Structure 1
Amino acid sequence: MKNIISFLLIAASVFSCKAQITVESEETSERKISLTNPKLVVAIVVDQMRYDYLTRFESKYGNGGFKRMMQEGFNCKNNHFNYVPTYTGPGHASVFTGTTPNNHGIIANDWFDRTLGRTVNCVEDRTVEPLGTNSNDGRKSPKRMVSTTFTDENRLFTQMRGKTIGISIKHRGAILPAGHTANAAYWFDYENKGSGNWISSTYYMKDLPKWVKDFNSSNITESYFKIWDTYYDINTYTESGSDNNDFERVFKGKETPTFPYDLNKLKGSNGNFKIIAESPYGDNLTTDFTIAAIDGENLGKDDITDVLTVSYSSPDKVGHDFGVNSKEIEDVYIRLDKDLKRLFDTLDDKVGKGEYTVFLTADHGVANIPRYLESLNIPSGYFTSKELKTKLNAFVLEEFKTTGLIRNVSNNQIFLNRKKIKELGLDLTFVQQKLVNEIISYKDIYKVYSATSMSNNSFHNGIEHLLQNGYNQKRSGDILTVPYPGYIYYRKTGTTHGSGFSYDTHVPLLFFGKGIKHGETLQKTVIPDIAPTISALLGISYPSGSTGRPLGFVLD
């Protein structure tokens, strides 16, 4: 009996030791897993960056910004948006949700809401209060985005211990990337002669933290009311066209669109703080605030991964005003390259070299100014929503002997008065097709599709596929129009974006840092691939609506 008891005690002791070893092994394994993840993921979106800005201005870049990402990281050279429209709101949402507007619901920056009977902004939220301003520009949140982001999934995975902070001059560039669960999103109050503060909303917090208040009370922002001249001798800017031409916007108070620009002198006639956003100093200011956030929010200070999203908005502002071929846009990218170096040097110092992961992409590209293209005999031109609406109203009166069937024309889409169509006993599909047949006859229109065709067909390639990926059944219009390549809905100076053509879809995608291989590929990648790639790197769930695929060849 004693022998049996002794045997049992020895067996229990051995089992206990094995169990302890197993538990310790599991704990050690968990510690190893946590140590393999980066301390901080930095997600950079450059607003309105065509892919060829990487190659065209490469000789002007230093070694610490764009070139560092390419030399140390992975360059996806054939990266595209796979939907229409290519706007800022949908772009940021698609990068971080890993899907397209038909799923995440952000179909434009602003769109006509059939239920409300008015246009809504993609981050509008009248239920929250502004912080740092009295302006309605602070009444913003991500509530209209219906999918989670990889930033949300990281918060869920880490039991809300991993922080997420979103930063951008534009509210939508800060809010949509940061997702629904962010600790904070901060944007610049510059619209309608705003305060010049970095602001947020009560969606995130009850009051701005001390570090943000300290930044706002400093003289950093006002210090950028200064001369904007080219960083290098303007005569060396051989990658861009003439400085003085008829294609570019002229600031109020100047006679020509030429360097230098005295922002302090021009601010009174050009929106005060808005003119900082419309110069490269908006990027400088964004970097200043981002570096302050790294310290103020203690980002990347432990082994639980934090996420910092930064959207540089000023390239879009300058691009709209001066165009692809301008000296101004070349100077913006030369200076942005130096801002990236400043940010990466800070991350090396504050988080640790090799302890963070970065990706950089854009929310869309941009078209060359049509008048410039016309001067070179390249097909291009202009079309206006007002012109289209006038033609359609005349057609409706003649065809249906009534008025008021066209409710809204915006974002290359036409919204019909469905209530009136029903009252008149007309079939919606019939009316849609009649309008499609009419609009396709207009000389500047390339293609037209009805909502019914988007809903009832499956397109796998071409512009039709891009339209379908951008078509949201609840929010999009009844008719989708596509102007010819080079044709835009815009003013006659400056340019815009929004199409499914390569100048709007082809954008950079660079990865570098912890967990990233060194290399490059010409294999086609698409914007929704980014979020699942970062999710795979972190070992977290993909965003709820994700349709992209992880780019395994990027990960080490």
Structure 2
Amino acid sequence: MSKFAPRILSTLPLAFALLGCSSTPSLAPMPVAGAAAQASRPKLIVFMVVDGLPMRQVLAYRDQLQPDGFKRFLDRGAWFANAHYGHGHTVTAAGHSVMLSGAYPQRSGIISNEWRDPASGEAVYCTSDAAYSYIDNKTEPLAGTSPRNLKVETVGDVLRTVDPASKVIAVSGKDRGAILPAGHKGVAYMYMGATGQFASSTYYMASHPQWVKDFNAAKPADAFFGKAWAPLLPEAAYARSVPDGQSWQYTGGNGNKLPAVLGDKHEKPGPLFYGNILPSPFGDELTLAFARAALEGEQLGVDEKTDILSVSLSSHDYVNHAFGPESRLSHDHFLHLDRYLQGFFQYLDGKVGAANYMVVLTADHGFADTPEWAKSQGRDAERLNPSQMMAWVNTGLVKKFGEGRWATAFSAAGILFDQKLIAQKGLQPEAVYAETKALLLQLPGVADAFTEAQLRGDDRQTPYLAAMRKSWDPQRAAPVQVVVKPGWLFGSRVGGSSHGTPYAYDTHVPILGWGPAWLGQGEVKTPVEVADIAPTLAKILQVRAPAQAQGQVLPLPLMPVAAPR
């Protein structure tokens, strides 16, 4: 049983397992705007994350959007044009830990997707917990199964502490994209790449509720076998994007050219096919189908107890990693996503009622342009190989301090050291860190490096130090943090793109809201941070903000805009 007893359980036909797109949308009726003055709480808060979506992509394709997808936010919602992350190591787990807790990694402990324990050197995955396993699915070592590593509470945790009858359900293509927003008292469901199912873990329940069993039994992932990902628009519409088939674009999986047929190299659906669904538009379609099943199966938003449904859509991140945000494949994926959102919002209008729910959409990080493409445009852009960087550092430390493997591992965005060796040599750790910093600054791709003394200090003037400090948990993070130059990426594989820096292309993400009774309408240009979402939702829910939250309430627009642009 789910630890939430469903109010009404129904058998789920395959008919709603796959999410259709509305071609002739009817725009949602507009509730009376009252923003901060609204006394009643929404019946449902839908919190959405588009993994790896920089704000620049939202605005770059605005003229090609459907009237009720992203434009619902831009034309009739409240949106923040200058929203950023405040921490410097901008990766998926860190972003997802900030959104609904309001706490930066320095407090949450989620410093990266994975890291090495500074004391033991053992690998740690952000949501791994060997005490729990996936339900009805194989659990690999370090698989994400619980929020044990998350040191802070979320808005959902506060809500369920005050009112245990409220439900918090989180869904994602990635385990970390579901577990971290779900917090400690919600329930997380994640996509299983080996089976095409969605599953929870034994942290949350002993067995799946019937609606999950019904969804998985219908095998909705199999419906995408042999389906083509084809461009939505004529070729001329993609002139602003880099064409398919570039040498730096990843050729594995579904290939790097459209149309791409899923499963064309396989006889029948299997683990490779199921894994390849995520780096295509169909990964988002399938996730939204499961979100609909969760809403129906758990009967979210049907009474006066406010529920939270968190939906993290992972596919855009996979697409951008493989092909770069400048690519036509990324451009077209975004347009597919826009249509899926339109269908999902119109479903919510009918199921929950347009005046009864609100939506907040953000991203966990932005994206750098692919270095090879950026370099072809005359920019300084390269890849910094962490192994080569570590070898350079150790060679220099040996010259300075004598034989030994001084730097032991590259962890998250930093360098770990052999503390026993440092002690045996009678050295002060900070002296080794300072020498490491000096060595790093000799490398062409390094913009700066920060030592433990700097990270523990209060210097607010040095560029990017404050941001890296917010990413630094002294119990888990390395004592020397490294920042690459703008346009550069950590990595050894040529091809594809990534993120993880304190630069605007990685920190500038959307914060888009719809629900005029609670959020108002209009563009807000005031600088805000993603950490501000949690205190804002807490105020709307009329509960206290999460205890470790570092954000503040967003400056919501109080009046509707005169007319959509």
Q: In the aligned structure 2, how far is the partner of 1:181 from the partner of 1:267?
A: 40
Deviation at 1:228, TM superposition (A): 1.2
- Quote the residue 1:25 is aligned against: none
* 1:289-308 to 2 correspondences below 5 Å: 289-308=290-309
User: Deviation digits for residues 242-264 of structure 1, max 9, x if unmatched?
Assistant: 2232221112685xx21111111
Q: In the aligned structure 2, how far is the partner of 1:417 from the partner of 1:383?
A: 23
Aligned sequence identity (%):
31
User: Deviation digits for residues 226-274 of structure 1, max 9, x if unmatched?
Assistant: 21111222332223122232221112685xx211111111458993211
> Match for 1:39 among 34, 37, 43?
43
Q: In the aligned structure 2, how far is the partner of 1:132 from the partner of 1:246?
A: 40
Counterpart AA for 2:438: N
Deviation at 1:462, TM superposition (A): 3.1
- Quote the residue 1:262 is aligned against: 261
Contact 2:96 2:181 in 1 (8 A): yes
- Quote the residue 1:7 is aligned against: none
- Quote the residue 2:14 is aligned against: none
Structure 2 CA distance for partners of 1:555 and 1:298, relative to 1, 3 Å:
farther
* 1:531-546 to 2 correspondences below 5 Å: 531-546=534-549
- Quote the residue 2:368 is aligned against: 367
Q: In the aligned structure 1, how far is the partner of 2:172 from the partner of 2:468?
A: 28
Moved more, 324-333 or 226-235: 226-235
- Quote the residue 1:403 is aligned against: 404
Contact 1:131 1:138 in 2 (8 A): no
Deviation at 1:99, TM superposition (A): 1.7
Contact 1:267 1:273 in 2 (8 A): no
Matched, 1:208 2:213: no
Q: In the aligned structure 2, how far is the partner of 1:155 from the partner of 1:452?
A: 40
Deviation at 1:197, TM superposition (A): 1.3
Contact 1:34 1:304 in 2 (8 A): no
User: Deviation digits for residues 410-458 of structure 1, max 9, x if unmatched?
Assistant: 3331001112211221111111111111211212211111012111334
- Quote the residue 1:495 is aligned against: 497
Matched, 1:67 2:68: no
The RMSD of aligned alpha carbons is 1.8
Structure 2 CA distance for partners of 1:267 and 1:457, relative to 1, 3 Å:
farther
Counterpart AA for 2:206: K
Determine helix, strand or coil for the equivalent of 1:201: coil
User: Deviation digits for residues 465-506 of structure 1, max 9, x if unmatched?
Assistant: 111111111111011111110000132211000000010011
User: Deviation digits for residues 115-145 of structure 1, max 9, x if unmatched?
Assistant: 3421111000001122120222765111101
Counterpart AA for 2:47: A
Structure 2 CA distance for partners of 1:531 and 1:139, relative to 1, 3 Å:
closer
- Quote the residue 2:344 is aligned against: 343
Question: TM-score if structure 2 supplies the norm length?
Answer: 0.89
Counterpart AA for 1:512: W
- Quote the residue 2:521 is aligned against: 518
Determine helix, strand or coil for the equivalent of 2:362: strand
Moved more, 132-141 or 237-246: 132-141
Q: In the aligned structure 2, how far is the partner of 1:238 from the partner of 1:522?
A: 29
Contact 2:127 2:143 in 1 (8 A): no
Deviation at 1:509, TM superposition (A): 0.6
- Quote the residue 1:278 is aligned against: 279
Runs of 5+ in structure 1 lacking a partner?
1-32
Counterpart AA for 2:41: N
Contact 1:170 1:187 in 2 (8 A): yes
- Quote the residue 1:27 is aligned against: none
Structure 2 CA distance for partners of 1:231 and 1:364, relative to 1, 3 Å:
same
- Quote the residue 1:505 is aligned against: 507
Deviation at 1:104, TM superposition (A): 0.9
Deviation at 1:70, TM superposition (A): 1.7
Deviation at 1:392, TM superposition (A): 1.4
Determine helix, strand or coil for the equivalent of 2:518: coil
Contact 1:445 1:483 in 2 (8 A): yes
> Match for 1:78 among 60, 78, 82?
82
Q: In the aligned structure 1, how far is the partner of 2:338 from the partner of 2:449?
A: 40
Contact 1:128 1:139 in 2 (8 A): no
- Quote the residue 1:166 is aligned against: 170
User: Deviation digits for residues 281-319 of structure 1, max 9, x if unmatched?
Assistant: 000001111111110110001011000000000000000
- Quote the residue 1:107 is aligned against: 111
Query: Of the two, which has the highest radius of gyration?
Result: 1
* 1:377-526 to 2 correspondences below 5 Å: 377-459=378-460, 462-490=463-491, 491-513=493-515, 514-526=517-529
Q: In the aligned structure 2, how far is the partner of 1:409 from the partner of 1:554?
A: 44
Runs of 5+ in structure 2 lacking a partner?
1-36, 560-565
- Count the aligned residue pairs: 517
Higher helix share: 1
Counterpart AA for 1:405: W
Deviation at 1:461, TM superposition (A): 6.8
Deviation at 1:34, TM superposition (A): 11
Q: In the aligned structure 2, how far is the partner of 1:527 from the partner of 1:458?
A: 23
Deviation at 1:325, TM superposition (A): 1.4
Counterpart AA for 1:421: I
Counterpart AA for 1:509: I
> Match for 1:118 among 122, 127, 150?
122
Contact 2:253 2:276 in 1 (8 A): no
Counterpart AA for 2:545: Y
Deviation at 1:397, TM superposition (A): 1.9
Moved more, 244-253 or 275-284: 244-253
Q: In the aligned structure 2, how far is the partner of 1:536 from the partner of 1:125?
A: 32
- Quote the residue 1:287 is aligned against: 288
Deviation at 1:370, TM superposition (A): 0.7
Q: In the aligned structure 2, how far is the partner of 1:155 from the partner of 1:187?
A: 21
Determine helix, strand or coil for the equivalent of 1:140: coil
> Match for 2:160 among 139, 155, 162?
155
> Match for 1:551 among 545, 554, 562?
554
Q: In the aligned structure 2, how far is the partner of 1:46 from the partner of 1:454?
A: 31
* 1:100-249 to 2 correspondences below 5 Å: 100-136=104-140, 140-158=145-163, 160-182=164-186, 184-190=187-193, 194-225=194-225, 226-249=227-250
- Quote the residue 1:52 is aligned against: 56
